[in-house]
Amino acid sequence: MTKHAHAPADLKADQMFINFGPQHPSTHGVLRIALTVEGEVVMKGDPDVGFLHRGMEKLFEARTYSQGLILTDRLDYISATHNNLGYCLAVEKLAGIQAPLRAQYIRVLAAELNRIASHLVFFGTFGVDMGAFTPFLYAFREREMIMDLFEMLCGGRLLHSYVRVGGVAADLPAGWTEKCREFLTFFKPMLKDYDTLLSGNPIFRSRTEGVGIIGADRAVSWGLSGPTLRGSGVSYDVRKAEPYCVYDKLNFTVPVGKNGDCLDRYYCRMKEMEQSVEIAFQCLDALAGAELNPGEFMAKGVPKMFKAPAGQAYAHVEASRGDLGFFAVSDGGFNPYRMHVRGPSFINVAILQEILVGCKIADVVAILGSLDIVLGEVDR
Amino acid sequence: MTADEILAKLQASFPGLVKSEAPLKDYPTWTVPAGSVRAVFERLHSKFSFNYLDMVTATDWSGPANPKGYPQSPAVTPAAAGAPSATAKDVFEVVYIVSALSTGMRLCLRCELPRKEAAVPSLYGIFMASDWQEREVYDMYGIKFEGHPNLKRILTQDDQQGHPLRKDYEHVADKFD
């Protein structure tokens, strides 16, 4: 984080230095990009992060494993359930705890609902970035329904802490399954509406097609993940590559793009929502089955405070923004000795320094929006 | 090709490369001497198609964190200010996780460094993903990545004193305290 931003000393006479952010509505948080422009063309773009740094990894070291969970909500606050899940999987691996099957289905269900909610925020705000305000209203109407579902589940709307070490906080409340089905049935045809609202809009397309192209080899080298990587045509999804919970029992496809431009990254997310709906339906069917005992949502005998045996574990999940990993080290005590978060947004945003060069100022907003970063996770 | 076969092939050129005694759970884990980190990764990348650098981080093994490292009392749990554990050593350990997207194989490589003037070759250029992750490790631990073209603080402000994730870090009071 740069405390005092000055124009670079080697600025030429026909160049201009622009501080894009940290207080700019289209940076989606507190990101600063130091832009050197020549007329409309960006000569150098240097993303500057850390304005939201809260020292999470240091805080984890002073908290027990169950207390650490609430910190994870505040990483990627748009899709809190994925953070909870990644953290719990790492701790469970470290401590040798196995969540019951029913809890695993509920986890996947909650995670996929959260993925839809998160991609809806992307859909809405990306439209606003491109000058289309209407899709935002539709996106947030649907997202509100998911928030209501989460409120029924755990009381929280944004920060859920629903997934716990050993299972989930509570079983599905009465009437929730029906509400969820109702929402999914309502939501599925909506995706077609979104296409007519935004995806097919000529202005939107001309602003995203062929803009901010990331080649497949560059995307892999920069360690991109999630829809940002898949937009470049690389089919890498943690749910397929290293299935966790019950993803190996579920039937879904991984949408990939072709050109790696902003439109491909955008459309990957739209297609992913469709798959999330399918996964959610499969989970609901499985939860209604007889083999998953109702009420068995938590592993037996997981105390609030427990010691994990000395060792190291790494668990990662496919969060809404990509490959979210937790690296946990225990020295045998009550607290994690070390907890590192591999935030996908942090790694995705780094590529800006390469792809911003040569684009127009207006495209900076499009490219940044298409990466879909959350600064809570970038800065941790 | 299994991880063991790759290890055997690499050991011919890098005798210091060995299997770790305490592996990362479910991951083939190797310990690599600091001097050959870049060469080993170069070989993994070019010969064994390990093209995706998942994670770079580090652990400070010098014992439990100093409570003075927190602006306010961190003692929310009885174990927060514990006694030095049996695992305490005066070293940093840099941890890499690398994977091959084509085969799905994943490896964990670790490298121990003395805590005084810790330095390790940078992977910049082989994996661009190392750019910011190495800067973060430098910011948090002060480990120097030799050959990194832009090694400066990233998450903390540029006039920050000390490296926060070091276990002996002490918070310097500022105007916000």
pLDDT digits (tens, 9 = 90+) for B115-155: 888 889 999 989 999 999 999 999 999 999 999 998 989 99
Asked if A334 and B77 come within 8 Å (Cβ–Cβ), the reply is yes
Asked if B157 and A305 come within 8 Å (Cβ–Cβ), the reply is no
| Residue-averaged pLDDT of chain A | 89
Contact A253/B at CB under 8 A? no
Interface ipTM: 0.88
The pLDDT tens digits for A3-60 are 777 777 888 888 888 888 787 777 777 888 999 999 889 988 889 998 889 888 988 8
Q: How far is CA B6 from CA B3, B39, B100, in A?
A: 5, 15, 13
Q: What CA–CA distance (Å, rounded) separates B150 from B77?
A: 39
Q: What CA–CA distance (Å, rounded) separates A102 from A336?
A: 27
Task: Name the residue with tokens 């005798």.
Answer: B15
Among A122, A114, A115, residue whose Cα is nearest residue A139: A122
List the structure tokens of A308: 């994990």
DSSP letters for A44-86: EEEEE--TT---HHHHHTTS-HHHHHHHHHTTSTTSHHHHHHH
Give the domain ranges of chain B: 3-71+87-146
**Which residue(s) pair with A251 in the sheet?**
none
Residues 6+ positions from A45 with CB-CB distance below 8 Å = A33, A34, A35, A36, A352, A353, A356, A357, A364
Strands (E), A220-321: 311-319
Q: Are A119 and A320 in contact (CB under 8 A)?
A: yes
Contacts of A57 in chain B (CB under 8 A): 140, 165
Interface mutation vs chain B, best among A4, A61, A93, A380, most B CBs within 10 Å? A61
DSSP secondary structure letter of residue A317: E
List the structure tokens of B107: 């490896």
Q: What CA–CA distance (Å, rounded) separates B9 from B3?
A: 10
Q: What is the model's pLDDT at position A290?
A: 66
> Looking at domain B3-71+87-146, what is its CATH homologous superfamily?
NADH:ubiquinone oxidoreductase Nqo5 subunit (3.30.460.80)
Helix/strand number for chain A, H first, E second: 16, 8
Of A171-175, B60-64, B69-73, B169-173, the range with the lowest mean pLDDT is B69-73
**Domains of chain A, first to last:** 56-349 (1.10.645.10)
The pLDDT tens digits for B17-51 are 888 888 888 889 999 998 889 989 998 898 888 99
Asked if B154 and A49 come within 8 Å (Cβ–Cβ), the reply is yes
* Residue A207 distance to chain B (closest CA, Å): 28
The pLDDT tens digits for B48-62 are 889 999 999 999 888
Among A319, A119, A164, A162, residue whose Cα is nearest residue A239: A319
The confidence band for B85, taking pLDDT boundaries of 50, 70 and 90, is low
The residue with greater pLDDT, A7 or A137, is A137
The residue with greater pLDDT, A242 or A296, is A242
Contact A98/B at CB under 8 A? no
Contacts of B70 in chain A (CB under 8 A): 58, 62
The pLDDT tens digits for A86-119 are 999 999 999 888 888 889 999 999 999 999 999 9
Q: Are A42 and A357 in contact (CB under 8 A)?
A: yes
